């Protein structure tokens, strides 16, 4: 999927829902950035988390499997090329639903974090909505429920110390455009989403969750 993400890179750098929002604010806040604090931004995408962390004084390393996202290090979340405890905090925002092995990814984040792991992602709504996500973007693997996220953290040896649930406003047109969804598939995506979509917008349920070593 790397070539696909290279093609999308600029769209994600300029995407409104990715470059701002309560979820971004909270992800950054929970990393506890500041001078002397080191953070790894996993699956950095458009680099918005890294930008905000650096503005807050943290030293940040970005990693992403797509060269077009211009990460500091190219690599997948499931195999982070860093020593144990390399960073004070590890962040990952709105990317885990693309991971081939989410448990392996969370374990890797826990391994390289000395203190805390903060993950933000869309949450599961229904199997029909999952079908819509996969049709819109074949790189989508799955959104997970809150209980599943708790189990992932537990398997990684992390204790959940904070979590926040919210709904992000998603504009449907740009969402389809970012994934280059074929015109012939778009009506079916909207049909699968049903009454979740109103006036071209959809509330996107989102979880921000923070864990520390148990």
> Where are the domains positioned within the chain?
2-124+141-171+204-213
Decide if pLDDT at 144 tops 50.
yes
Q: Identify the three-state secondary structure at position 56.
A: coil
Residue-wise pLDDT tens digits, 99-114 = 999 999 999 999 999 9
Alpha carbons within 13 angstroms on the beta-carbon side of residue 17 total 19
> Parallel, antiparallel, or unpaired: how do β-strands 158-171 and 201-213 relate?
antiparallel
Decide if pLDDT at 198 tops 50.
yes
Residue-wise pLDDT tens digits, 4-29 = 888 888 888 989 899 999 999 999 99
Decide if pLDDT at 191 tops 50.
yes
Mean pLDDT of the chain, nearest integer: 96
Q: Identify the three-state secondary structure at position 176.
A: helix
Geometric angle at alpha carbon 137, from 5 and 39, rounded to 5°:
45
CATH number for the 2-124+141-171+204-213 domain, one of 3.40.50.150, 3.90.950.10, 3.40.50.800, 3.40.470.10? 3.40.50.150
CA 73/CA 149 separation, integer angstroms:
26
> Parallel, antiparallel, or unpaired: how do β-strands 113-122 and 59-64 relate?
unpaired
Tokens of 193: 């989403």
Residue-wise pLDDT tens digits, 27-54 = 999 999 999 999 999 999 999 999 999 9
CA 81/CA 165 separation, integer angstroms:
31
CA 200/CA 10 separation, integer angstroms:
23
Is the pTM above the cut of 0.75?
Answer: yes
β-strand partners of 201: 171, 198
Question: Which pLDDT does position 63 carry in this prediction?
Answer: 98
């Amino acid at each position: 999927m790397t070539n696909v993400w290279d093609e999308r890179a600029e769209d994600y750098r300029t995407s409104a829902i990715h470059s701002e929002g309560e979820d971004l604010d909270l992800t950054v806040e929970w990393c506890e950035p500041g001078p002397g604090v080191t953070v790894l931004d996993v699956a950095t995408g458009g680099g918005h988390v890294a930008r905000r962390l650096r503005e807050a004084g943290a030293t940040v390393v970005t990693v992403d499997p797509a060269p077009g996202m211009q990460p500091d290090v190219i690599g997948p979340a499931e195999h982070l090329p860093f020593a144990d405890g390399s960073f004070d905090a590890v962040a990952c925002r709105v990317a885990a639903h693309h991971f081939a092995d989410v448990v392996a990814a969370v374990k890797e984040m826990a391994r390289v974090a000395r203190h805390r792991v903060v993950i933000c992602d869309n949450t599961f709504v229904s199997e029909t909505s999952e079908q819509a996500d996969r049709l819109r973007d074949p790189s989508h693997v799955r959104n997970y429920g809150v209980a599943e996220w708790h189990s992932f953290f537990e398997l990684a040896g992390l204790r959940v110390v904070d979590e926040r649930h919210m709904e992000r406003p998603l504009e449907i047109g740009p969402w389809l455009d970012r994934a280059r969804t074929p015109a012939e598939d778009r009506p079916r995506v909207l049909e699968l989403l049903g009454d979740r979509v109103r006036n071209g917008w959809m509330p996107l349920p989102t979880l921000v969750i923070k864990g520390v070593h148990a």
